[in-house]
Amino acid sequence: MQYCDPRLDDRAWMTGIDRVAGAILALLMAALCFVPSAFAAQTVLVLGRVSDDPKAHYERLKPMLDYVVPQMADLGIREGRVLMARDAQQMVSYLRQGKVDWITETSGAALGFVERAGARIVLRSRRGGLFDYHSVFFARKNSGIDSLDDLGGCAIGLQHPMSTSAYFVPAAILLESGLRMAIQSSPLERPPPEFVGYAFARSEGNLVTWVQKGLVDAAAFSSQDWEELQAGAPAQAAELAVFHESREFPRAVELVRGGLDAQIEARLRQILLAAHADPAAQPALHAYLRTERFDEVDAATWTELAELRERVRRVRAEIE
């Protein structure tokens, strides 16, 4: 096991210091290296994510780790690892075991980890120019679905059970509007009138197609997705109509595990907050799920998160 980052052997920064002082400093540094290992021995920073495609997500996360880790060398962090979890439960388990230090997640899922694994939200992320967005319900134009009330006995397409904008929020809204949710193995099924059936389409594109082709009666995803649809495929968007929109909620947040060393957490916050100003961080930021910058979680955001937490809890409670 190596206790010191090899970079410490690079004495360039010691220029001007006399040899005796250098030697003393070297001893001190060795002591510093030794001390943390005696208490926590954390040398690896693990960035986690729930993913059904670890291969793809690895490429997105690793550059950010590579950007961050070197800046934590003085904290004993010599290595960065990406750890993918198949699902939320696994991630919760990782968090509980302390196997994951840092997670980037949508707000809904993040709240689940906060709730169940004691993770803490430390920063919010801006992606696509937005810190916040909302969910939109859409159906085909002239489908007769103009409001949530029209959805009884209908099938609705959602993305997947970790999605905030396309699962937690719409499901919560439907529950709040008094509809009962029934999961379907196929989008073609139809529930009894008092139910709204739902099926996971896994991707935004699928949702659009499902609705357009009538596989499902309606679908919900983020406002950002809708805007992208309108910009990218206006003809397709023109056939569709949004019949309900949710309130704003944070788009994505950065979490750390509960027991993470404060120094490390602080350093991470520091690095990430400064990243958008660091040109060297730009490739890593872009790869990092097209994140533009990180920011402190402000009060409004906390409010939104609180509301969202309630919705997530309800969904968990009533559906799962």
Q: Which residues bind another protein (CB under 8 A)?
A: 52-55, 58-59, 62, 82, 84, 86
CB of 61 to another protein, least distance (A): 9
Instruction: Compare residues 69 and 123 and give the one whose CB is closer to another protein.
Output: 69
CB of 55 to another protein, least distance (A): 4
Instruction: Compare residues 62 and 276 and give the one whose CB is closer to another protein.
Output: 62
- The residue written with tokens 């005796």 in the block is 20
d(CA 247, CA 307): 10
CB of 166 to another protein, least distance (A): 22
* 8 A C-beta contact, residue 219 and residue 208: yes
Instruction: Compare residues 83 and 148 and give the one whose CB is closer to another protein.
Output: 83
Instruction: Compare residues 86 and 141 and give the one whose CB is closer to another protein.
Output: 86
CB of 51 to another protein, least distance (A): 8
CB of 89 to another protein, least distance (A): 13
* Alpha helices, DSSP H, located in the chain: 19-39, 54-68, 88-97, 107-117, 169-176, 204-213, 223-232, 234-239, 262-275, 282-287, 299-318
As to burial, measured by CB atoms within 10 angstroms (0-12 exposed, 13-18 middle, 19+ buried), residue 285 is buried
* 8 A C-beta contact, residue 291 and residue 106: no
Instruction: Compare residues 18 and 53 and give the one whose CB is closer to another protein.
Output: 53
Instruction: Compare residues 92 and 151 and give the one whose CB is closer to another protein.
Output: 92
CB of 46 to another protein, least distance (A): 12
Answer positive or negative: Cα dihedral of 26, 32, 35, 36.
negative
Q: Which two tokens stand for residue 176?
A: 């709040």
Strand partners, 48: 83, 103
CB of 268 to another protein, least distance (A): 21
- The SS3 call for residue 305 is helix
* 8 A C-beta contact, residue 133 and residue 251: yes
Instruction: Compare residues 64 and 215 and give the one whose CB is closer to another protein.
Output: 64
For residue 6, the tally of other CB atoms under 10 A from its CB is: 9
